[in-house]
Amino acid sequence: MTTTRFAPSPTGRLHVGNIRTALHNWMLTRKAGGDFILRIDDTDAARSKEEYVEAIRTDLAWLGLEADREERQSERLGKYETAFEALREAGRIYPAYETQQELELKRKVLLGRGLPPIYDRGALELTEAARAAKEAEGIAPHWRFKLDHDEPIVWEDGVRGAVKFDAKLVSDPVIRRADGSWLYMLPSTVDDIDMGVTQVLRGEDHVSNTAVQIQMFTAMDAAVPAFAHEALLVGKEGKLSKRLGSLGCDSFRERGIEPEAIIAVLARLGTSLPVEPIGDRAALLETFDLSTFGRAPAKFDDADLERINTALVHAMPYHAVKERLPDGMDEAGWHAVQPNILTVGEAAEWWRLVTGPIEKVQFSEEDRAYLGEAASALQWTDDPWATLTSSLKESTGRKGKTLFLPLRLALTGMNHGPDMGELLPLIGEGEARARLERAAAA
């Protein structure tokens, strides 16, 4: 059974990059059948906040990406301790005592010699007496995972294809700080093992992490999941954009962006498939395939999102939006205003043309006389707009703009808007005649 996980840290709100990762993991699971796990990576107690946990849940629910189960790292600290002790006993974890300044100096020396700036394993050369002396001085160790340098690290990546790392060119990673708190590597690996994660799909910035974690899986005699690393999002200019980090569900909601528009864009962004206004998730799932993902940076453009959003809004049936429409707007009202709106929220502005009040317009004497004639000629047939304009065209000789525009201005206060054939019946006979009469007298 396919099991994936989305593992945000509750140190802030989800942004568009996080959402894309969550979506693709959700799609991977839903297409194959299995479990989509929301794993809250909250081992950083100082920065993790419960309000962000709630926000993550809320945002995923709004997007329709509910998890099959939720796990929290803060409730699994004992598991990490057990794994840590087993690995230390096996000689795969060792204490190190260098300060940040000392490590930085080592890096500069190596770079100056044209060598890879990797950790030199100096801590392994310390004797027991030297370690005891360090700790007697009050220097608590941080802890590193000892990589196996004898075998290259290889895997078949679901997006990048064959990947190979020379373990000797990778630093032994710090997995635990001197204060006892955990870094990302070991807890994530322990969780993937315990939770039965079969596929890890994440950003390409994790490729080097994967190389390390593959050795951790092996060291713990566990099956290695299938890994795939998708290209990161960039702005339309082709550069990493700070703005992408601030684009989240609150921002999208405020702008009237529909969840289905976000899903339609992010589902295919970075793939060879066209980004289209597809509101049917089943259709998106049917075409979801890691083989379509490219290596080039995935360009996110707000204009594309708004274009997709507008197209989806224009296709939305009344039953899908009726709870979000202004009081009194029925299916006929929605159908009338729908072609003129970019977001569902804009329906209220156009509905004001029906309920009033409308803007007062100043007309010429000739147009006032024409509108007075229109008020008298108004007949409430099955199509009152067509009946009225046909009658006025015959009686006045007006046509085109001079025929239609004064009527629209008098009836709506605007020189553009929804089709008058649909709008006039919504205004109603009495109100329509009153508006024409007021305009004629103005």
Query: Hey, where are the domains in the chain?
Result: 1-69+231-315, 81-176, 318-354, 356-441
* Rounded-to-integer distance, Cα 121 and Cα 124, Å: 6
| Ranges under pLDDT 50 in the chain | none
pLDDT at 240: 59
247's CB contacts (< 8 A; 6+ apart) are: 15, 16
Domains 81-176 and 356-441 share a fold: no
Burial (Cβ within 10 Å: 0-12, 13-18, ≥19) of residue 83: buried
309's CB contacts (< 8 A; 6+ apart) are: 256, 257, 258, 261, 342, 343
pLDDT at 387: 97
Closest CA to 17 of 256, 210, 262: 262
Q: Global pTM?
A: 0.91
Are 139 and 97 spatial neighbours (Cβ–Cβ below 8 Å)?
Answer: yes
Query: Annotated binding site for ATP: which residue ranges?
Result: 242
pLDDT at 132: 94
Phi then psi dihedrals of residue 269, to 5 deg: -65, 125
pLDDT at 241: 64
Residues 39, 253, 56, CA angle at the centre, nearest 5°? 10
356-441 topology per CATH: Arc Repressor Mutant, subunit A (1.10.10)
pLDDT at 242: 64
pLDDT at 426: 97
Query: Annotated binding site: which residue ranges?
Result: 242
Q: Which tokens in the block code for residue 310?
A: 């507008």
CATH class held by domain 1-69+231-315: alpha beta
207's CB contacts (< 8 A; 6+ apart) are: 157, 160, 163, 229
For the domain spanning 81-176, the CATH number is 3.90.800.10
Residues 189, 195, 196, CA angle at the centre, nearest 5°? 90
Are 412 and 353 spatial neighbours (Cβ–Cβ below 8 Å)?
Answer: yes
For 39-73, b where at least 16 C-beta lie within 10 A, e where not — what string?
bbbbbbeeebeeebbebbbebbeebebebeeebeb
pLDDT at 243: 72
